[in-house]
Amino acid sequence: MPEGHTLHRLARDQQELVGRRVAASSPQGRFAEGAARIDGRAVEQVGAVGKHLLQHFDGGLVVHTHLGMRGKALRFQPVSGEPLRQVRLRLHTGDLAWDLIAPATCELLTEGEVETLRSSLGPDPLAADSGAERAIANLRASGRSIGEALLDQSLIAGVGNVFRAEGLLRARLHPATPAAEIPLDRLRELWDVLQRMMRQAVDDAEIRPKLVYKQPVCLQCATEPATPVLHWDLRGRTAYACPSCQPAPAAA
């Protein structure tokens, strides 16, 4: 599933739409009514929060997109030919087009509904205003392991399985560690790690390097021979840990 950096990178790339009127269509037909309502309107703002893309149009209408597992946005310039039939939403300015394919969510919201969405999410490490202390308080109050809590978007927004694995490795925290038992300075370090990784991933348009996620051995570890990476199911998602870099808590 695309993680927060993907949506923030997409929002950055789509700044080229701001101030321009778009021809909106839904070749697939599933967003035909919504496309008709924004057709001919000007894009006022494009932003992201967590794993959500928000395209604001004049008149107070907002297209809310969540890519889910398979969604993607494709850019075309110049535009030649008709869009693919599976395109949920095409935004066409005349010289360029953005096509949205296979999103989990593509819906039209009011500004008030956008605020409701925002209030349902935890702090985003990629947001301009740092919500570190609120995120830390959310994690500690969750009553869950740090590995479980990091994927709860109501606690912290934008972190997915890759950032969870790589962030916990770099912060030297085992996924099974109860969040409430982690010292505040270690949680602040984890937040800082996630911020650095996610900002770099926005610039790179990918998460790299992957030192533990889907790796047979830990690529951070200085041991010889290299330490095999442990992986297991954690509430339906695969968790990863290096037993050398991330010692398990006593009860794990």
Residue of 9, 51, 140, 170 marked catalytic: 51
Task: Delineate the domains of the chain, giving CATH numbers in brackets.
Answer: 4-119 (3.20.190.10), 132-241 (1.10.8.50)
Residue of 12, 21, 186, 237 marked catalytic: 237
What average pLDDT does the segment 189-194 reach? 98
Per-residue pLDDT reduced to its tens digit, 39-73: 999 999 999 999 999 999 999 999 999 999 999 99
DSSP 212: S
Residue of 2, 103, 123, 125 marked catalytic: 2
Whether residue 2 lies in the annotated active site? yes
Do 147 and 138 form a contact (C-beta atoms < 8 A)?
no
Q: Residue 113 pLDDT > 70, yes or no?
A: yes
Whether residue 107 lies in the annotated active site? no
Whether residue 243 lies in the annotated active site? no
Q: In three state form, how does the secondary structure of 116-170 look?
A: HHHHCCCCCCCCCCCCHHHHHHHHHHCCCEHHHHHCCCCCCCCCCHHHHHHHHHH
Q: Structure pTM? A: 0.95
How much is the pLDDT for 8? 98
Q: Residue 252 pLDDT > 70, yes or no?
A: no
Q: For strands 87-92 and 61-66, give the pairing.
A: unpaired
Instruction: Please tell me the distance from the alpha carbon of residue 118 to that of residue 97, in angstroms, as a whole number.
Output: 28
How much is the pLDDT for 122? 98
Whether residue 41 lies in the annotated active site? no
What's the mean pLDDT when you consider all of the chain? 97
